[in-house]
Amino acid sequence: MYAPQGVKLSPKMPVPDTMRAWVLGEPGELKLVEKPVPVPKRAEVLVRIDAVAICATDLEVIAHGPPAKVQGGLPFNKNWTPGHEYMGTVAALGPGVDEYAIGERVTVEIHAGCRQCKRCRQGMYTSCLNYGLNYGDVDKGHRANGFTTDGGFGEYAINNINTLVHVPDDMSDEEATLVVTAGTAMYGLTELGGLVAGESIVVTGPGPIGLLGVAVAKALGAEPVILTGTRDNRLQIGRELGADHVINVRRQDAVEAVQRIMNGRGVDYVLECAGAPNAIDEAARMVNRGGKICLAAFPHEPVPIDVAALVTNNIYLYGIRGEGKSATHRAAAFMAQKRFDATKIHTHTFGLDDLPTALRYARDRVDDAIKVVVKRRTEAVQQAAAE
Amino acid sequence: MYAPQGVKLSPKMPVPDTMRAWVLGEPGELKLVEKPVPVPKRAEVLVRIDAVAICATDLEVIAHGPPAKVQGGLPFNKNWTPGHEYMGTVAALGPGVDEYAIGERVTVEIHAGCRQCKRCRQGMYTSCLNYGLNYGDVDKGHRANGFTTDGGFGEYAINNINTLVHVPDDMSDEEATLVVTAGTAMYGLTELGGLVAGESIVVTGPGPIGLLGVAVAKALGAEPVILTGTRDNRLQIGRELGADHVINVRRQDAVEAVQRIMNGRGVDYVLECAGAPNAIDEAARMVNRGGKICLAAFPHEPVPIDVAALVTNNIYLYGIRGEGKSATHRAAAFMAQKRFDATKIHTHTFGLDDLPTALRYARDRVDDAIKVVVKRRTEAVQQAAAE
Amino acid sequence: MYAPQGVKLSPKMPVPDTMRAWVLGEPGELKLVEKPVPVPKRAEVLVRIDAVAICATDLEVIAHGPPAKVQGGLPFNKNWTPGHEYMGTVAALGPGVDEYAIGERVTVEIHAGCRQCKRCRQGMYTSCLNYGLNYGDVDKGHRANGFTTDGGFGEYAINNINTLVHVPDDMSDEEATLVVTAGTAMYGLTELGGLVAGESIVVTGPGPIGLLGVAVAKALGAEPVILTGTRDNRLQIGRELGADHVINVRRQDAVEAVQRIMNGRGVDYVLECAGAPNAIDEAARMVNRGGKICLAAFPHEPVPIDVAALVTNNIYLYGIRGEGKSATHRAAAFMAQKRFDATKIHTHTFGLDDLPTALRYARDRVDDAIKVVVKRRTEAVQQAAAE
Amino acid sequence: MYAPQGVKLSPKMPVPDTMRAWVLGEPGELKLVEKPVPVPKRAEVLVRIDAVAICATDLEVIAHGPPAKVQGGLPFNKNWTPGHEYMGTVAALGPGVDEYAIGERVTVEIHAGCRQCKRCRQGMYTSCLNYGLNYGDVDKGHRANGFTTDGGFGEYAINNINTLVHVPDDMSDEEATLVVTAGTAMYGLTELGGLVAGESIVVTGPGPIGLLGVAVAKALGAEPVILTGTRDNRLQIGRELGADHVINVRRQDAVEAVQRIMNGRGVDYVLECAGAPNAIDEAARMVNRGGKICLAAFPHEPVPIDVAALVTNNIYLYGIRGEGKSATHRAAAFMAQKRFDATKIHTHTFGLDDLPTALRYARDRVDDAIKVVVKRRTEAVQQAAAE
């Protein structure tokens, strides 16, 4: 029976010695295996994973390895468990932890950082300078669950308490998996200045981050919120989440449409979630002088950019990869307060055994899939299917 | 005799009714004319111009019009006086002005802004949303002397007191013309975070802004300061201004050389003053995760950029065009305190009548020209030539 | 007929040559007089005042003079019109103004600043270094309507376009007068960091700023929002505006009650609107280490403060007097979006002729008065009374 | 022989099993004992202490316990080693550490924080919410060496690598002990805005933090730097460290003298290091509107404060207790670059055995003592004495 020394357990929530988890083999190869339940250390808890959402980055990680192109690049690691948008129930406490209780429902953010480099020391833990250094001779203790350390495509995971967010009783497991996505949008809006009420924003690309970007911007009081995209059904969901205007770029020139809405004055912010080759140039023509562009997506190949437009108009541009600066807590607060209904982007649910099918739905957008969630308990899944 | 109503004058500094000034005709065409001395209004002073430096942007303005690509672009204006890096002596005070005294030596920054748009109201006056709107039915009172309103290639100019900086007695006219260049570098470093002491920086491109960028970074305590460029004589001046390391990119790969100096950890900041096609991609490979790149130069054509590197490494990138946020005052303070010798970049002096020759020296880098200064008084010029 | 040169008028909104306005004589003495309608200059408009709310500061200004204790103090001015929380309809445009249209409903913020001092240049126009210098030899053009320049207790006023906020059609005149109060609370919360969602706050003192402080904090996602005060009816309004907890300090120790709610961890922010002698010491014991206290009220006499508690706990404390940093725009955006119902604090309405009665209601809290509004049109007032 | 598992040692720097260290007994009671050399864990190193400076806070800690008045207060701990301003040589590396090398000279900052609370996660590690929780059932791993965990009045100490700063070869041991004092001043100036060049500052109180505050402000380009105090010899040292003006408050009214220097315009910043009862009120009358006051000292009893002056003038006030936001690194960079000579405040040196005498010199200012340093090696001390 699982009873590691120094770890606090509760009889109401027994933990097995081993668990099922998907592990990565060669690029693209996932296997469901039985492996030991990990042990939380100081400042860590063991989370029983109840639900995990699939993100486009999971597909990349499974195919190509971790997403951060640090100096020299990260190696493609094998024999670990991806999955980073998960939630669950606290099952055991590492030494000294009393911030969370066994049985408490929590959702997670990805990055714990190393907590000892300059960036972590500044509060910029997603830009940890020891990114991926969590093994071997250069073990700096960096953790980014599902990117460089074991994540959520299994039954249990270890989380630093820094990465946890409390889930209220009236929030479903599925909704709770979306907190980190909303947190990523919130981080982008925070870096964009944070004083958003009454300011104008364009969100480009109605993927999960873009759609929740619309919702978060609206909750912060942005006005107008303009969403651009290519598919009307996605744009319609954007409207339901708070977009004042939607622009189908298949039918209209995006820059012209935005400038028509704004009477030629441009918007204050662009949250770029499309990753299209012309996205930055178009964004630069949408924002006003001194405006800000947050890049939450990117094309995989270098693209031509009109740098002169950025410089002569004093434009601020920055990339974010995931959440940061505890934005998940702010996003979770809005969701707990029912400021928007994130579940509008949840479309499909599968059981843990069906992860490969779930990944296929997410990758190929089968049946218009947006967010596909994988749940631990089969009954829950069937229940969801019956609804 | 010049004695406009409400304007304060001093007998010790009589002002003529008319003055000589160069005015722009067709693109590229400058004529020396006699025109009325302008009249300062509330919050404005009349400056007798004693010296004006030539900037690459002057060459652009003369050839193509004002530099800010605002929505729709600015028209090419005629019949006005370019020149924006000038200094001089206060010759008359508009109504209510007591911040400066007649006879006081001052240098200038370019942008007064309109003081009524959202950006000016935020303190971002160089990003004025009414940029260039200073005439006709849409007159918002925007001023950017030498860009959109009359500048320094003449004997007198009007300046809003916001744009003035006091010049101490022991600073030469020539040195004072360089304050706005140092102020541009200081603004870039301010926007880059402002907490520079002990942090590492690469300055790319040893033009005037780059060289004074080295000097300002060093004065702020940056360490190391690394300068890259193609010409050894310029790099040598960079060393004299405080560069700890210089890299001639004709002989070494800049990224490799920087990473060798930094032991592969990257630098905190890049101040990009080269405008080369590959400058942003190289900068992105020089900075560490969460690092910052300030663009003070740009290629004139769109260039391919690896956006993925910016996003996955959480890089902040922004363009500046000129000074801002009162950075000229901070730069002037360092210069008054003799923290660095900006005159190292001053190479040539001409009289006002010889402006065309001065422009040619600056454009063609005749005789290794860096900063070419034009002075009002011929004797001063001859004196300078004799030294 | 009113037709000043260079001013744009509309036949649909004729402006008389003279107007009725209350003017201040000796301290405490207000007289209703007929005086010329003022003329807007560049960047200014003429506003026909439709409604004006009474603030405690009005009572101070009428009794003692302008509120800013600048170096040496401001003199008690006579023969001008107080009143600063007003709204109305644009009646004429100064030269070059196209940001607002004649007939457009607007509400105002107080401070235009001088737009030429260091603080105005930084965007801190409420901290203008030329505060009150708008007359005589030292006229710097500073404007703070109702404090140092003519305000809203009359039929017309001049406003710099910087100080205007658009009012949507479905917002009543009375509600629009409350934007500047909400804007003051918003400014406090902005200076407190601005990243409020999910963070905890105590608002002390359920006056108008405190009650709208509760509303704004809740709109920003603060949680919990705790309100302290002495009167249950006021606390009840606080609940309706979003307070999660209210504490009647007559019945409970405020610090103990807050710490019980927070499990001894303290809150992140205190917005101090009570001005009680022990308010700062109590606030310091309510916030956590590194927490922030915004002072929007103050005792009139020096009070003993435990400075050691501020220093050893790294507490940030700052005073605000009124709105700032364009926070009225952000507050107005929330109100336009119906995030909270500011009219809950509007209790009484009078006609312009009845200003003395209105002031008495506000000062003596007659009939539990909170916000007393004075309206230009008698019929509107009667209508309001009939509701 | 000292050889703990997982710890990296070097033959060139053997470590004994036990060491001499002063430990605290009852309040005020220090005993020199032999105790085991501690063992570094992950992200920690063992530092051989070569020199330690005495700070007024040491005297407080020895007499009354740790300085942070956290909720409920910290208990007076016994059987631990105070001393927080130390430097030394890295003697052993915990698992995974390669940021520092054995034999490298380092100086320290005090606070490692817990690295898991909200404030640490924000980069505000000196405001750690788990301050002092480093033992028993609530062990959160907080470390503040010399305050709540073992410090520098002994031969060896454990330091998190976050708390280390490299010491260059040409900096003496004595000077290196002063980095944390300069870092405290630098932190105050950082929190005061960080854009200091050309701005004006008053430093009140020429103690060690005040004197190095003068030096750091000058290095950042502040102008003028004004120092106030009661003793001419201290003020003279302030002049040598960069004060443009000194005011002996025994002979002049400090506020009047400052306003005379500033022509009545006030200064931008006050760094308050005197802790006098009237210090805040005077500071409020020295700064301009919107100005900032950093409190680095405090009176031990509550003092009357004119809160109205803070509120109506929009003044920012905040307390700091020690260094923060990695300001020690910035201060160390200035010291390595020889921007100022911190050793001017070093007056006396004793051997470790003479700690009680050293403390007495510091407490009673024997022989005009400012900074008293205790060194490990007797020969070094004798050498110093001979100089």
pLDDT at res. D386: 45
Average pLDDT of span C169-174:
97
Tell whether the model's pLDDT for residue D385 goes beyond 90: no
pLDDT at res. D60: 92
Q: For residue range B144-182, list pLDDT tens digits in order.
A: 999 999 999 999 999 999 999 999 999 999 999 999 999
Q: Shortest Cα distance from C341 to chain A (angstroms)?
A: 15
Average pLDDT of span B286-302:
95
- Give the type of residue at B363: R
Tell whether the model's pLDDT for residue C382 goes beyond 50: no
Kindly report the backbone phi and psi dihedral angles of residue A149, in degrees, each rounded to the nearest multiple of 5, phi listed first: -130, 165
Dihedral, CA of residue D46, residue D49, residue D55 and residue D59, to nearest 10: 80
Least confident of B256-270, C95-109, C191-205, D352-366: C191-205
Which of C177, C233, C245, C175 minimizes the C-alpha distance to C206?
Answer: C233
Q: By a Cβ cutoff of 8 Å, what residues of chain C touch chain A? A: 186, 190, 194-195, 197-199, 219-221, 223, 325, 329-334, 336-337, 339
Helix (H, G, I), strand (E, B) or coil at D251: coil
Q: Which residue of C has its CA nearest to D320?
A: C314
Q: Count the helices and strands in chain A (H runs, E runs).
A: 12, 18
Of D190, D221, D334, the CB nearest to B330: D221
Q: Shortest Cα distance from A343 to chain C (angstroms)?
A: 19
Residue C296 and residue C209 in contact, taking contact as beta carbons nearer than 8 Å: yes
Mutate to test the interface with C, among A179, A196, A201, A220 (most CBs of C within 10 A): A220
pLDDT at res. D72: 55
Mean pLDDT of chain B: 93
Q: Shortest Cα distance from D381 to chain C (angstroms)?
A: 34
> Which ranges constitute the DSSP H helices of B65-178?
118-122, 173-176
Tell whether the model's pLDDT for residue B90 goes beyond 90: yes
How does residue B75 score in pLDDT terms, banded at 50, 70 and 90? confident
Q: Shortest Cα distance from B137 to chain C (angstroms)?
A: 6
Mutate to test the interface with C, among D311, D313, D320, D323 (most CBs of C within 10 A): D311
Look-up: residue for tokens 């610090």?
C255
Q: Under an 8 A CB cutoff, do A139 and D96 touch?
A: yes
Mean pLDDT of chain A: 93
% of chain B surpassing 70 pLDDT: 95
Of B197, B330, B334, the CB nearest to D330: B197
Contacts of D333 in chain B (CB under 8 A): 197-198, 221, 223
Tell whether the model's pLDDT for residue B276 goes beyond 60: yes
Instruction: Count CB pairs under 8 A between chains A and D.
Output: 54
Of C198, C223, C334, the CB nearest to A221: C334
Instruction: Count CB pairs under 8 A between chains C and D.
Output: 162
Q: Which residue of C has its CA nearest to A329?
A: C198
Of A42, A140, A325, the CB nearest to D96: A140
- Give the type of residue at D220: L
Q: For residue range D102-140, list pLDDT tens digits in order.
A: 999 999 999 999 999 999 999 999 999 998 888 767 789
CB atoms within 10 A of CB C341: 13
Of D123, D140, D141, the CB nearest to A121: D123
Q: Under an 8 A CB cutoff, do D116 and A326 touch?
A: no
CB atoms within 10 A of CB D29: 10
Q: Under an 8 A CB cutoff, do D281 and C302 touch?
A: yes
Question: Counting beta carbons within 10 angstroms of the beta carbon of residue C34, is it exposed (0 to 12), middle (13 to 18) or buried (19 or more)?
Answer: exposed
Contacts of D325 in chain A (CB under 8 A): 122
Tell whether the model's pLDDT for residue B292 goes beyond 60: yes
pLDDT at res. B383: 45
Residue ranges of domains in chain A: 18-110+145-177+341-386, 187-319
CA B147 to chain centre: 12
Mutate to test the interface with B, among C114, C118, C121 (most CBs of B within 10 A): C121
Q: Shortest Cα distance from A116 to chain D (angstroms)?
A: 6
Q: For residue range D233-282, list pLDDT tens digits in order.
A: 999 999 999 999 999 999 999 999 999 999 999 999 999 999 999 999 99
Mutate to test the interface with B, among D109, D191, D330, D338 (most CBs of B within 10 A): D330
Tell whether the model's pLDDT for residue C119 goes beyond 60: yes
Q: For residue range B112-139, list pLDDT tens digits in order.
A: 999 999 999 999 999 999 988 887 677 8
Which of C240, C234, C181, C175 minimizes the C-alpha distance to C204?
Answer: C234
Give the C-alpha separation, D320 to D296, whole Å. Answer: 5
Tell whether the model's pLDDT for residue A87 goes beyond 90: yes
Average pLDDT of span A281-292:
96
Q: Shortest Cα distance from A149 to chain B (angstroms)?
A: 17
pLDDT at res. B160: 96
CA neighbours closer than 13 Å in the CB half-sphere of residue D338 = 4
For the domain made up of A18-110+145-177+341-386, give the CATH fold.
Quinone Oxidoreductase; Chain A, domain 1 (3.90.180)
Peptide bond into B224 cis (omega under 30): yes
Q: Under an 8 A CB cutoff, do A197 and C223 touch?
A: no
Q: For residue range C123-135, list pLDDT tens digits in order.
A: 999 999 998 888 7
End-to-end CA distance of chain C: 37
pLDDT at res. D109: 97
Q: Under an 8 A CB cutoff, do B121 and C123 touch?
A: yes
Look-up: residue for tokens 């009783």?
A169
Average pLDDT of span A244-270:
97
Give the C-alpha separation, C289 to C315, whole Å. Answer: 7
Contacts of A334 in chain C (CB under 8 A): 197-198, 221
User: What is the b/e burial string over C219-241, where b = at least 16 CB atoms within 10 angstroms of the residue's CB?
Assistant: bbbbbbbbbbbeeeebbebbeeb
Q: Shortest Cα distance from C304 to chain A (angstroms)?
A: 35
Of A99, A116, A137, the CB nearest to D161: A116
Output the six-digit token pair for C158: 């001049």
Residue A91 and residue A78 in contact, taking contact as beta carbons nearer than 8 Å: no
Q: What is the DSSP code string of B11-48?
A: TTS---SEEEEEEE-STT-EEEEEEEPP---TTEEEEE
Q: By a Cβ cutoff of 8 Å, what residues of chain B touch chain D? A: 186, 190, 194-195, 197-198, 219-221, 223, 325, 329-334, 336-337, 339
ipTM for the predicted complex comes to 0.94
Average pLDDT of span A352-361:
97
pLDDT at res. B176: 98
Residues 6+ apart with CB under 8 A from B283: B202, B204, B270, B272, B293
pLDDT at res. C379: 53
pLDDT at res. B74: 72
% of chain D surpassing 90 pLDDT: 87
Average pLDDT of span C337-356:
97
Q: Under an 8 A CB cutoff, do B115 and C115 touch?
A: yes
User: Which numeric CATH code is attached to A187-319?
Assistant: 3.40.50.720
Q: What is the DSSP code string of D150-194?
A: --SSBSEEEEEGGGEEE--TTS-HHHHTTHHHHHHHHHHHHHTTS
Tell whether the model's pLDDT for residue C387 goes beyond 50: no
Give the C-alpha separation, A285 to D175, whole Å. Answer: 54
Q: Shortest Cα distance from D223 to chain A (angstroms)?
A: 29
Q: Which residue of D has its CA nearest to A325?
A: D122
Contacts of A160 in chain D (CB under 8 A): 116
Residue D76 and residue D189 in contact, taking contact as beta carbons nearer than 8 Å: no
How does residue B68 score in pLDDT terms, banded at 50, 70 and 90? low
Q: By a Cβ cutoff of 8 Å, what residues of chain A touch chain D? A: 42-43, 95-96, 98-99, 115-116, 118, 121-125, 137-141, 160-162, 325-326
CA B68 to chain centre: 14
Q: Count the helices and strands in chain C (H runs, E runs).
A: 12, 18
Give the C-alpha separation, D129 to A118, whole Å. Answer: 20
Helix (H, G, I), strand (E, B) or coil at A94: coil
Give the C-alpha separation, D132 to D110, whole Å. Answer: 13
Of C190, C223, C336, the CB nearest to A337: C223
Give the C-alpha separation, D248 to D253, whole Å. Answer: 9
Mean pLDDT of chain D: 93
